Amino acid sequence: MLRSIPTVPLAVALQALSLLFSPASAATVTLSIPPSPQIPNPAALPPSTHATLTALGASFVAPLTTDNTFVFRNVTAGSYLGDIHCPTHGFAPLRVDVISATAGDDVSVRVWETFRGNDWENKGEEIRPATVGGALPVKVFGSKVYYTERSSFSVLSILKNPMILMGLVSLALFIGMPKLVANKSLTNINHLSPTVDPEMRAEFEEQSKKNPMNSLMSGPQSGSSPMGNFDVAGFLAGQGSGSKEEPEPSSGNGGKKGSKK
């Protein structure tokens, strides 16, 4: 009845076949998964990958074939929702329209991307076959992620925490800076003028105390600010009250003078 020579291309043979067993105005829809950055090797997709076409009162299923296509045969005219179900990758939903032109056997297939939860007429980009009459390539979203990473306890992850980093830096400043500043300010002055008189030095120190940053850095040695009176190490050791024993006349500039007695 239908003799076909083995050299006839597969798609043509299938088309002929579908016409043989089907009523008029039924089309063959062929979707394909081309190699893409997300799926470099479509041949490695699991065999449970399949595609469905659904509409009110109709549904078609096509498994993934050896040449990475989904072939729906005898699809009657209508507008279908196309889904590709794959355990490893997510695919874009499709709108597949099978249009029968007139009463004849002539049917055409048009495919667009569609958006779930949106109007059906709201179509995305039309998908065109790579070659005329060829398979329609489908769009991959990416790999499916089934698992969440467990946040495990590790010292490094604690150290990476910005809050901890800030705390550590400020701790280093509190402890290290007073010494650094004390030495540096002296050496600087000495370097500038070896024959500096004590008056000038006192003036410099007065200047540096006016600088709020310095007063913050100069730490426990100056009683100028409430912060200055705060002994970090002592507080951490639970003995912070020790330094409070000193009564502190804290009133603006008076405090500065107090420290200069």
Residues numbered 175-234 forming contacts with another protein, rule: CB under 8 A: 220-221, 231, 233-234
**Contact window for another protein (CB under 8 A) among 16-24, 100-108, 166-174, 184-192:** 16-24
Query: Residue 20 CB, nearest distance to another protein (Å)?
Result: 7
Q: Which x/- pattern, by CB under 8 A, does the window 19-58 give for another protein? A: -xx---------------------x--xxx-x-x-xxxx-
Q: How far is the CA of 75 from the CAs of 69, 108, 109, 137, 177, in angstroms?
A: 16, 11, 10, 18, 80
Nearest to 193 by CA among 201, 203, 182, 202: 201
Give per-residue burial for 93-105: e unless 16+ CB within 10 Å, then b: ebbbebebeeeee
Residue number with CB closer to another protein (165 or 233): 233
Tell me how many residues contact another protein (CB under 8 A): 74
Cα–Cα distance between 261 and 258 in angstroms, integer? 6
Give the number of other CB atoms < 10 A from CB of residue 62. Answer: 20
Beta carbon nearer to another protein, 103 or 146 = 146
Site string for another protein, 134-173 (x = CB under 8 A): -------x--xxxxxxxxxxxx------------------
User: Closer CB to another protein, residue 3 or residue 103?
Assistant: 3
Residues in a beta bridge with 79: 97
User: Quick one: tokens of 201?
Assistant: 């030095």
Q: Fill in the per-residue mask, 92 to 131: x = in contact with another protein (CB under 8 A), - = not in contact.
A: xx-------------------x-xxxxxxxx-x-------
Q: Which is nearer to another protein, 243 or 250 (CB)?
A: 243
- Whole-number minimum distance, CB 189 to another protein, in Å? 15
Nearest distance, CB of residue 159 and another protein, angstroms: 13
Distance CA 149, CA 44 (A): 25
Among residues 81 and 189, whose Cβ is nearest to another protein? 81
CA distance 125 to 137: 12
Report the distance separating Cα 69 and Cα 138, nearest Å: 10
Residues 6+ apart with CB under 8 A from 69: 30, 31, 32, 33, 135
Q: Does 242 bind another protein (CB under 8 A)?
A: yes
The answer for 254, left when phi > 0, alpha when psi is -120 to 50, beta otherwise, is alpha
Q: Which is nearer to another protein, 17 or 216 (CB)?
A: 17
Question: Whose Cβ is closer to another protein: residue 102's or residue 148's?
Answer: 148
The stretch near another protein (CB under 8 A) out of 14-22, 29-37, 127-135, 207-215 is 14-22
